[in-house]
Amino acid sequence: MGTVDQWVSAPARIADPDEGISVDELRLAARNHGMPLEALRYDVTPPGLHYLLTHYDIPALDPADWRLTVSGAVTRPLSLSLADLRIRPRVTRRVTLECAGNGRARLLPRPVSQPWLDEAVGTAEWTGTPLAAVLAEAGVAATAVDVAFTGADHGIERGVEQDYRRGLTLAEAMRDDVLLVDEMNGAPLLPQHGAPVRLIVPGWYGMAQVKWLVGIEVLETEFDGYQNVTSYRVKQEPDEPGEPVTRIMPKALIQPPGVPDFQSRVRVVDHGPVVLTGRAWSGWAPVDAVEISIDDGAGWRPAELGPQPAPYAWRSWRCRWDAVPGRYELRARARDAAGNEQPVGPAWNRQGMANNHAQRVTVVVR
Amino acid sequence: MGTVDQWVSAPARIADPDEGISVDELRLAARNHGMPLEALRYDVTPPGLHYLLTHYDIPALDPADWRLTVSGAVTRPLSLSLADLRIRPRVTRRVTLECAGNGRARLLPRPVSQPWLDEAVGTAEWTGTPLAAVLAEAGVAATAVDVAFTGADHGIERGVEQDYRRGLTLAEAMRDDVLLVDEMNGAPLLPQHGAPVRLIVPGWYGMAQVKWLVGIEVLETEFDGYQNVTSYRVKQEPDEPGEPVTRIMPKALIQPPGVPDFQSRVRVVDHGPVVLTGRAWSGWAPVDAVEISIDDGAGWRPAELGPQPAPYAWRSWRCRWDAVPGRYELRARARDAAGNEQPVGPAWNRQGMANNHAQRVTVVVR
């Protein structure tokens, strides 16, 4: 990149404590939209309302020309067309996806990147074919360690030019619920969701769900690409290696009750009985408890849980509230069956990753 | 609203000159997304990539229960079901829509509202039935002046609680290309685009394209509702009435060439011949010229125009550029057949409306 660097790609940084959102961050927010929170009403998120994070540009891939190569430490390298994939056994799984950076713009000080508030989430019915059988057909070497997945999206990030590429351990890649997906909610994948084919790794944050998939490489050493080793790490200092971001931490979201103000999005609710509703999910285990606070976390009451529709899909909850006039800060928190509890306040890390502090919904009861 | 006001809904304001984007503005940007600019490659914008602006919440309407009432100064008030509308003559029109607030966040000082940069645009194939025939069936009174359109979305804006409601003059409402639409790109309207039925007024900014339409009222006096009289006005001072926002001013956008940096979205282009491409549109008349600058507006070269696919749909353009290493600020400007010319710099107004200053795309050629 040479001297091009300084004009193009700045190092990661933390905003000053009183620094507003920059135009660079806003430009990302205008492209990479969240799910409007009233869409928590849908069991399955309609097209266009699911959150979206594209690292570079949405590529223009022609499904007729598209090929998926399976290479590296395999006995029989493969090159598959879309038709080759579609004649394989097909499975549909309902899976909730969340961006690992969700909640980042709530942190103080704020890591400068895609500035998510609470809404980088969505649930879809994903249809495709199990990855494990494709890897088995290629014949994975006994010495294999990791599998690297390459997308067709290409760009520069913190000075490093790259195709978007992520690695998984072989054990994770061989899970029977990991899919090569070409349909979302019963229709061919939309361009922005990875058409023609993407990876779905249920339970993991969005960075593992590689879109516009064109290459699968079986590796005999640990994958050391940018998106695993530099990005998507939980760390406090710029030079420490940090911990990798993996599965989705438990979270509950409240569907904002009543009606909104246009600018502040504060909610106005008529006094009387209100049924608060929302969704909760975790990538570690099913959610087994949701609690609601109407006083910004001072007191908590249990919510009633709806059925768990699939192992890694969000679960509905509801909670009655006898609303009395005044101003309230509603919070929700989830706990999963693996014992992970959602914290009320944020745990800061310098990339703003895997943050599951409790959403706050301001409500005025009249 | 009484004392609830102060907690909910603040008056419109202008940001301080050095004030970053606020969390309130970011929250709107996370809901109301733009069209990622690489989607300028598509003649018709795929679902989920079209821009979206929702004043309040996306309502949950059941198409089976939905009714559209036609009332006011008519001989035969109507109450139409979706089936009633769908058996009427059907027309498909390709129309480009743009938010009247597009470009607002580029203004200095910045009006505080939905903070659009350049991307609040999209083009779709809209299918429905002509409004004029429905009005004719209802029997519009000879004394009629305006027609008011009510959406099912409800909220509070600058202290005024309201259903979203917009008026059109009777003459505009009776244009033969104004449609009651229930399909977008050949599929039923998505919830966020106004399901089950919305209004499409080709050539006008988005505020006229009332979504979640439930009421049409023929008026014998000029419509004086909030969205016509208070919002969507071009004005310099808070207390002046200002001029109404109506049709879309001419604009050209450049599909950003090369590959992006993740954070800055600066483009990196390899030196040599480059074909710049993009789209241009106007709500006043077809675009008849697009010019491109590679030096931030100092010099201009003509672009070659593609065909005009429909009267109010964007038109493609292309322009060859022999790219030599260096840093460039690309600009594009359009002129329409009615003689409207796109300005390079912004014309400030206090609501940031109808601003069509020229987009700037920063490119580094290597």
pLDDT tens track for B155-165: 999 999 999 99
- pLDDT grade, residue B348 (50/70/90)? very high
pLDDT band at A346 (very low <50, low <70, confident <90, very high): confident
Residue B215 · residue B79 · CB < 8 Å: no
Which top CATH class is B251-365?
A: mainly beta
Annotation: CATH topology of B2-244:
Sulfite Oxidase; Chain A, domain 2 (3.90.420)
CB contact under 8 A, B1 and A57: no
- How many other C-beta atoms lie within 10 A of the C-beta of residue A194? 26
List pLDDT tens digits, range A104-158: 999 999 999 999 999 999 999 999 999 999 999 999 999 999 999 999 999 999 9
A232-245 mean pLDDT = 95
Query: What contacts B76, CB < 8 A, 6 or more positions away?
Result: B137, B138, B139
The beta-carbon neighbor of B364 closest among A4, A27, A154 is A4
Stretch A89-115: mean pLDDT, rounded?
Answer: 97
Over residues B40-58, the pLDDT tens digits come to 999 999 999 999 999 999 9
Residue B136, φ and ψ in degrees, nearest 5: -65, -40
Helices (H) and strands (E) in chain A, counts: 6, 22
- A2, B366: Cβ pair inside 8 Å? yes
The CATH number of A4-244, from 2.160.10.10, 3.40.640.10, 3.40.50.2030, 3.90.420.10, is 3.90.420.10
Nearest to A331 by CA among A295, A279, A287, A280: A295
B161: how many CB neighbours lie within 10 A of its CB? 16
Q: Which residues of A touch B155 (CB under 8 A)?
A: 259-262
Which ranges in chain A are annotated with CATH 3.90.420.10? 4-244
A293: which strand partners? Answer: A331
Nearest to A364 among B4, B21, B155 (CB): B4
Distance of CA B88 to the CA centre of its chain: 27
CA distance A218 to A162: 19
pLDDT-wise least confident of A10-19, A60-69, B324-333: A10-19
Q: What is the model's pLDDT at position B312?
A: 98
Note whether A189 and A182 are within 8 A (CB).
yes
Residue B123 Cα, gap to closest chain A Cα (Å) = 15
pLDDT score, position A4: 60
Instruction: Name the residue among B1, B10, B105 with its Cβ closest to that of A264.
Output: B10
Domain with CATH 2.60.40.650 in chain B: 251-365
Q: What is the pLDDT of residues A356-366, one digit of tens each?
A: 999 999 999 99
Q: Which two tokens stand for residue B125?
A: 């194939």
CB contacts, 8 Å: A55 with chain B: 262
What integer pLDDT is reported at residue A17 of this predicted model? 86
CA A151 – CA A156 distance, rounded (Å): 14
Could you tell me if A332 and A303 are in contact, meaning their C-beta atoms sit under 8 angstroms apart?
A: yes
CB contacts under 8 A, B 260-299 vs A, are 260-266, 268
Contact A26 B29 (CB under 8 A): yes
> At residue A229, what is the residue type?
V
With vertex at residue A91, the alpha carbon angle to CA A86 and CA A96, rounded to the nearest 5 degrees, is 120
B189 close to B197: Cβ distance less than 8 angstroms: yes
A218's tokens: 């079986």
Contact yes or no for B317/B280 (Cβ under 8 A)? yes
Which residue, chain included where needed, has tokens 């449609």? B179
For the cut 90, the answer to whether the pLDDT of residue B212 exceeds it is yes
Three-state secondary structure call for residue A151: strand
**Model confidence band, residue B66 (pLDDT cutoffs 50, 70, 90):** very high
Partners of residue B295 on adjacent β-strands: B329
Question: Can you tell me the mean pLDDT for B301-310?
Answer: 98
Mean of the per-residue pLDDT values of chain A: 96
In chain B, ranges of CATH 3.90.420.10 domains = 2-244
Which DSSP letter does residue A227 get? Answer: H
Structural contact between residues B190 and B182, judged by C-beta atoms closer than 8 angstroms: no
Q: What pLDDT digit, counting tens, does each position of B118-153 carry?
A: 999 999 999 999 999 999 999 999 999 999 999 999
Question: Please, is B314 exposed, middle or buried when counting C-beta atoms within 10 Å of its C-beta (0-12, 13-18, 19+)?
Answer: buried
Pick the closest to residue B260 from A61, A59, A22, A47 (CA basis). A59
What is the model's pLDDT at position B4? 60
Phi-psi region of A72 (alpha: psi -120 to 50; beta: other; left: phi over 0): left
* Contacts A105 to B, Cβ<8 Å: 23, 26
Q: Is A14 exposed, middle or buried (0-12, 13-18, 19+ CB in 10 A)?
A: middle
Q: Is the pLDDT reported for residue A2 higher than 90?
A: no
The DSSP result for B137-183, as a single string, is HH-B-TT--EEEEEEEEEEEETTEEEEEEEEEEHHHHT-TT-EEEEE
Q: How much is the average pLDDT of B103-132?
A: 97
CB B358, CB B343: distance < 8 Å: yes
Residue given tokens 């903070």 in the structure block: B115
Asked whether residue B214 carries a pLDDT value surpassing 70, the answer given is yes
Task: Quote helix, strand, coil % in chain A, to nearest 5.
Answer: 15, 35, 50
Digit-coded pLDDT (tens) for A291-339: 999 999 999 999 999 999 999 999 999 999 999 999 999 999 999 999 9
Cβ-Cβ contacts under 8 Å, B3 against chain A: none
pLDDT of residue B18: 87
Is B156 in Cβ contact with A261 (below 8 Å)? yes
What is d(CA B2, CA A91) in angstroms, rounded to the nearest whole number?
A: 55
The closest alpha carbon to A360, from A218, A230, A256, A263, belongs to: A256
Q: Report the candidate in A242, A268, A271 with the shortest Cα–Cα distance to residue A354.
A: A242
Cross-chain Cβ contact A24/B263 below 8 Å: yes
Question: Count of H helices and E strands in chain B?
Answer: 6, 22
Question: Tokens at residue B148, please?
Answer: 């008011």
In chain A, whose CA is at the least distance from the CA of B365?
Answer: A4
pLDDT tens for B169-192 read: 999 999 999 999 999 999 999 999
- Residue labelled with tokens 């769900």: A209
Return residues 195-254 of A near B (CB < 8 Å). none
Eight-state DSSP code of residue B193: G
Which chain B residues in 163-202 lie under 8 Å from chain A, judged by CB atoms? 190-193
Residues A360, A354: Cα–Cα separation, whole Å: 17
Q: Give the phi and the psi of residue B41 in degrees, each rounded to 5.
A: -70, -20
